């Protein structure tokens, strides 16, 4: 049975398997965990052993990196079947991936490549999203990716593009606040305007992460603590959109779990200061996604 998630989470990484398989202090532990789907789309082995053990104690969501929803290749039905099977095993609150393309001509480029913000791209994406949702029998959640270049063919801002895609497709949004900040620095737009355009009812999750600031270029690295500017944008997001389940991503230079838990507690404190306790607490009757 699907277990709804609420509150504050962390990404499950192999470096922390043993810690999560041991009792953690109730006051210093995540409320839920996010797994990278592809790490567990395997027929067996130690990753699934750890996943099954930890899943007994923590609600989970699934987050993928290989759906390639924006590619011109046909959707990979073998991939979707493996994803659906994993979802049946994990019973996540939702399944997410990125608003991007990761390959073409059946070759995975192992990067999250940006979409042009055009009407033709919207027309391309909407039926593919609907196909995925019908196959998985659940809403698809897409994350806004960070970007470093813009297309000369762009017909609208990224924020307008994302909002229009949500409206036309009915999918949901994993709002990565760090990615909004990174892209705003790289392209010179106001990140608050981006947040303002997002439909609160379709935002189901928030990502926070660190990045590398090179001055003229900001790179989304997920290898450092959340910086002050992203914390400030997170507070603005809460005030504009209301509370959404929030997690911190760390994919490199991974510290001891306790360090991440302390950073996650910073998110809790900021949310508690910005919002009323009733706005952060779990709904009395949270509906499972089926």
How does residue 281 score in pLDDT terms, banded at 50, 70 and 90?
A: confident
Is residue 57 predicted with pLDDT exceeding 80? Answer: yes
Helix runs in 137-227, H state only? 158-169, 177-187, 191-197
pLDDT digits (tens, 9 = 90+) for 1-22: 688 999 999 999 999 999 999 8
Q: What ranges do the domains of the chain cover?
A: 8-280
CATH number of 8-280: 3.20.20.150
CA atoms within 13 A on the CB side of 240: 19
| Alpha-carbon gap, residue 23 to 58, rounded angstroms | 12
What pTM, to 2 d.p., does this model score?
0.94
pLDDT digits (tens, 9 = 90+) for 192-202: 999 999 999 99
Phi-psi region of 134 (alpha: psi -120 to 50; beta: other; left: phi over 0): alpha
What single string gives the DSSP state of each residue in 247-282?
A: EE---SS---HHHHHHHHHHHHHHHHHHS-HHHHSP
pLDDT digits (tens, 9 = 90+) for 208-244: 999 999 999 999 999 999 999 999 999 999 999 999 9
């Amino acid at each position: 049975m699907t277990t709804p998630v609420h509150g504050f989470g962390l990404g499950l990484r192999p470096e922390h398997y043993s810690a999560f398989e041991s009792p953690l202090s109730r006051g210093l532990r995540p409320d839920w965990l996010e797994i990278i789907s592809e790490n567990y789309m395997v027929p067996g082995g130690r990753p699934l052993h750890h996943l099954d053990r930890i899943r007994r104690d923590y609600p989970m969501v699934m987050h993928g990196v290989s759906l390639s929803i924006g590619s011109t290749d046909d959707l990979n039905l073998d991939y979707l079947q493996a994803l659906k099977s994993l979802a049946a095993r994990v019973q996540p609150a939702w399944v997410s991936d990125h608003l991007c393309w990761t390959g073409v001509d059946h070759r995975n480029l192992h990067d999250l490549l940006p979409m042009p913000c055009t009407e033709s791209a919207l027309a391309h994406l909407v039926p593919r999203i609907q196909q995925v949702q019908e196959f998985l029998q659940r809403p698809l959640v897409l994350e806004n990716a960070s970007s470093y270049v813009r297309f000369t063919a762009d017909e609208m801002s990224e924020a307008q593009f994302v909002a229009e895609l949500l409206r036309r497709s009915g999918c949901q949004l994993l709002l990565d606040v760090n990615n909004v900040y990174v892209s705003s620095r790289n392209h010179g737009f106001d990140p608050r305007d981006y947040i303002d355009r997002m439909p609160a009812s379709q935002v189901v999750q928030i990502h926070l992460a660190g990045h590398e600031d090179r001055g003229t270029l900001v790179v989304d690295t997920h290898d450092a603590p959340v910086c002050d500017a992203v914390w400030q944008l997170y507070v603005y997001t809460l005030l504009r959109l209301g509370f959404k389940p929030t997690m911190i991503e760390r994919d490199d230079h991974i510290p001891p779990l306790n360090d991440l838990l302390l950073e996650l507690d910073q998110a809790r404190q900021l949310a508690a200061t910005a919002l009323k306790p009733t706005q952060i607490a779990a709904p009395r009757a949270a509906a499972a996604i089926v």
